[in-house]
Structure formats: C-alpha cells, structure tokens
Amino acid sequence: MTDEKMTVLIVDDEKVVRAGCQRVLTDKGYDPLSAENGKKALDLLADNPVDIILLDLKMPGMSGEEVLEKAYKKHPDIPVIIITGHGTIDTAVDCMKKGAYDFVTKPFQIDEFILTVNRASDKRMLEKKALQYQEENRKNLYDLNLEKSRLKTVINCMANGVMVTNRNMEVVLHNPALMKMLEISEKFDNPVSVSRIINDKDLLKTLHTIQSDNSQEGGFVSQEIKAGKRMLRAISAPAFGPDKSVVGTVTVLEDITAFKTLDEMKSDFVNMVAHELRSPVVAIRQQNSVLLEGLAGPLQEKQEEFLQRGIKKIDQLLELINDLLDIAKVEAGKQIQHHVPTDIAGIIEETVSLMEPRAKDHGIELTFSCDKMRKVQADPKGIAEIFSNLIANAINYSPEGGRISILARSLNEYMEIKVSDSGVGIPEEEIPKIFEKFYRIKDPKTRKVMGTGLGLSIVKAIIDEHHGTIEVESTPGQGTTFRILIPLITDNG
C-alpha cells in the first residue's frame, strides 16, 4: 500500500455486506463508497474518482454483469472485483473474460478479501504511475529515448504478455511475460518476424486483418488461443500513427488457464452430483413409495401425509440433479442428440397429455392447436424437453383459473410454436436475463414457486442446437408468450 488513499466503490444490495466491507476497508486505509444498486453505482462513478469497484453479481433491477459492461466501456482502467456466491462462480468466470479483474466468494475470508483488494490497488497504482509518466513526458518534452526506456520498464514489469508489431508484421517490442506464456526459451532481438513467436493461425490472421482493414480507434479483437498447456486470452488492437493511419498492432496476452480449469472442476462436480447422488435419492424415493402403498403395513393418516411431503421434496431434488446434469452436458457439448424427421404435433399432443393432470390440479385450462404441420429435422427427446419446461413454467406462474395455449404452424421455411399463458408476466427489464443459468425473477408473487432457474437455460441451449430462435413477449399481470422458430425440412434436404 502507498500513502495515497485508494477509493473503493462497494456495489451490493445487501446492507450487511456493504457495512462489513466499509468497516474492513476503512481499517486498512482505503476510502470506501457504497451503492445499493447498479443505477446508483453508475451515478457515483460518474461524479466521483474511483480506483477499485467491488461488484455483486446478483442484484434486483440492473445486474452486476450490466454494471460491469457499462462501467468497462467508460472506465476500462478501473479494476472490477466481482462478489459472487458459490452458485454463480461460472458467471464470475465469464465476467473475468469480459474485463473483470478478479472475484471473491461469499462468505468472505478477510485475509483473502484484503489480499485481492491490495492486488487490485497495486495494479491501479502502477497504471496511474504509467499514465502520470506519459503525461509528464508530453508536457515537459522529455527526451524520446528516456520515454522509450521508461515504457519498456513498465511493460517488462507487467504480468501480462505484451507484443507490438509494425506494418511489416515484425515484432518491435515484447516483454518477458510474453515469452514465458508462449513457453519460448529462445531470445530474440527486435525486430523479428511475428510468425517466429506466434504459431496460432487464428491470431496471425487477426493481426493481418487489423492492419489491412480501416480499423477505428478504440476497437479491439479478443480471442482465446492455446500455448502448450496454457490457455491465453489475446486482445489485439491497431496502433495508429500521427496521421491516424494504422502503423501496426498491439497485443496483450492474459493467462486464463486457471479459469478454464475452474470451468472443468465445475463440470466434474456437477457430474459427480448427478451420478453419486441420483442413485441413492431414487432408492429413497422407491422405499418411500413402497411404504406409501401400504406394502410394509397399514399407515395412519398422519404418517401417509408425512411420506407424501417427503416424496415431493425428493422429486424436487431429483429435478435439480437432472437439470444440473443436462446443463453440464450441453455446455460440454456431450449432449447425445439423434436428429431425425420429427412430427412436432405428436410431441405436443403427448406432452400436453402428460401435463394436463398437473394443470387441472392447479385449476388451469391447457389447450393446443396444430395447423399445416410439416416435419422438422430434430431430436425428439430435446423437443419434448422444450415443451415440458415451457408448459411446467406456465403452470407454475399462472393463477388458478388461468389458461395456457400451445399453437404450432408451418410458417414459410420454419415451424412456429407459441406457448402462451395468463400468468404473472415478466417485467421488461428482466426479459434479457431469464435464459441465464440459476436466474429467477425476484417477485413477491413468485416466491412460493419452487425451481432451479435452469429450465429456460436448457430450453435456449436445445433450440440453439437446432439452429432455431426463441423470443419472449410479456406484460406484467397479463401473461407471457414464448415464440419458437425451428427450420423445416426443405424439399432438397
């Protein structure tokens, strides 16, 4: 830490988290500000100099990801530390790929929390000093050689790899971190052909494209490349001359191997949960069913009630396990699909037949209509899962006496399916988020609805696999319509 106080903006909708962070940071010599939502955070950011942002992911209204996107556009130099729960670590990793500096998980370990903030503070201070040096050089007309020497010192001290090329695709500046990330032990004297350092064809193509196109200032290309056992994120941007023409490229490489490993650990954990927990849970359910059927002796009314409650909770746990397994398979590209000419009308009729008793139990009318139906090239199991999830959601979020309708028809080159309900509806600002994993709308009317927040994520993933689209129209208090388009089988196949 330095004598200069660093200002930290704490953005979290939980008052106790904000107060705790303020107390700890104040004791460590920081100057904290706090905001309970994304809008207030952006207002404070516009009116106050901020050095570090602590940002909660899950907040009502504007989510942490939206705040990150807007803040990064205007203040890309401010390190953003994501505050996340264990259930949203994968989202935090995605945020790191979009520009966040690091993340901490709730509940906080004080030492780890302060260490993360201190690293961000050191990074911010180094960047401030670099900017200060540049400004002083411009104002005082320092010798160009001295400026180059200082710039080289800063770049050589950076943890990220840096590479600058000229018009001839020659590397004119690079730092030791670049060579370490690319696992190159040979020493090169600049300038050297970029192809001697970079072997990734996609990155080389990107550098050529940046130099050949009329690139605009502020534009950049982000891509992932593999170097030995490392996974790197390469951010490449054009370098401009005095006449605003492109004179080369600047590429920054960041090691994201740890985050990729974290992704794999998450998938392995999900698979472990699915395989290790599902079997005993199914066995427990079967034993409870045996008891409930009276095969182990007659039951009293109260005992029967308790067993029915237990089976209901077990079914909810099985639903969570199955959803986690499905989403993990989709993300890993291991979902087994058999695309064959498929009759959508038959799947709709069968799904409605299965869901109708549940709808009647809730006092909801469930209808369907199919018009001018043609076959689609699809995975029947996946299509059935789409309808099961959408209809189940509609039942859960519709009041007694409500109505759910499924309409399907051939529309030009697509099969159009609409699933409409007369439920509580979705606020306009929430619609872009409903397909995110584990996301659930925070509404007093829907608190009693049990669910994993994975159903719509699975629906979106399956539709994407079928090269289709899904749109949502909703009016709070009146209902919601999901519109799906899936390509039809054409005459020429």
Q: What is the DSSP string of 7-25?
A: EEEEE-S-HHHHHHHHHHH
Best CA proximity match to 249, nearest among 170, 173, 166, 160 = 166
The alpha helices in 215-337, defined as continuous H runs, are 257-292, 301-332
Q: What pLDDT digit, counting tens, does each position of 38-89 carry?
A: 899 999 998 888 999 999 888 888 888 888 888 888 888 899 998 887 666 7
**CATH 3.30.379.10 corresponds to the domain 340-487:** no
Contact 399, 448 (CB under 8 A): no
pLDDT, residue 412, reads 83
Q: Which residue type occupies 45?
A: L
Amino acid 2: pLDDT: 47
Q: What is the pLDDT of residue 418?
A: 93
**Which CATH class name applies to 158-255?**
alpha beta
Q: What is the mean pLDDT of residues 428-439?
A: 81
Q: What is the pLDDT of residue 273?
A: 67
Which tokens hold the place of 271?
A: 């698979």
How sure is the predictor about 470, in pLDDT bands with cuts at 50, 70 and 90?
Answer: very high
Which one has a higher pLDDT value, 483 or 149? Answer: 483
What's the rounded mean pLDDT across residues 350-361? Answer: 89
What is the rounded CA–CA span in Å between residue 44 and residue 53?
11
Percent helix, strand and coil across the chain, each to the nearest 5:
50, 25, 30
Asked if pLDDT for residue 257 goes beyond 50, the answer is yes
Whether the pLDDT of residue 292 is over 50: the answer is yes
pLDDT at 407: 93
Number of other CB atoms surrounding residue 487 within 10 Å: 15
Contact 471, 435 (CB under 8 A): no
Q: What does the longest C-alpha to C-alpha distance in the chain come to?
A: 96
- How far, CA to CA in Å, does 367 sit from each of 345, 407, 408, 422? 13, 9, 12, 13
Secondary-structure class of domain 7-129 per CATH:
alpha beta
pLDDT at res. 216: 58
Average pLDDT of the chain to the nearest whole number: 82
DSSP letters along 411-462, please? ETTEEEEEEEE-SS---GGGGGGTTSTT-----GGGTT----S-HHHHHHHH
Residue 375: alpha-carbon gap to chain centroid: 34
Token pair of 275, please? 């395989």
CA 337 to each of CA 325, 417, 466, 493: distance values in angstroms, whole numbers, following the listed order: 15, 21, 10, 19
Judge whether residue 265 has pLDDT over 80. Answer: no
Place of tokens 């503070």: 121
- Evaluate if residue 335 carries a pLDDT over 60: no
Domain boundary assignment for the chain: 7-129, 158-255, 264-332, 340-487
Backbone angles phi, psi at 104, to 5 degrees: -125, 150
Confidence of residue 481 (pLDDT cuts 50, 70, 90): very high
Burial of 65 (0-12, 13-18, 19+ CB in 10 A): buried
Mean pLDDT of 7-16: 91
DSSP 3-state of 4:
coil
- In this predicted structure, the answer to whether residue 1 has a pLDDT above a threshold of 50 is no
What backbone phi and psi angles, to 5 degrees, belong to 374? -130, 160
Share of the chain above pLDDT 70, in %: 86
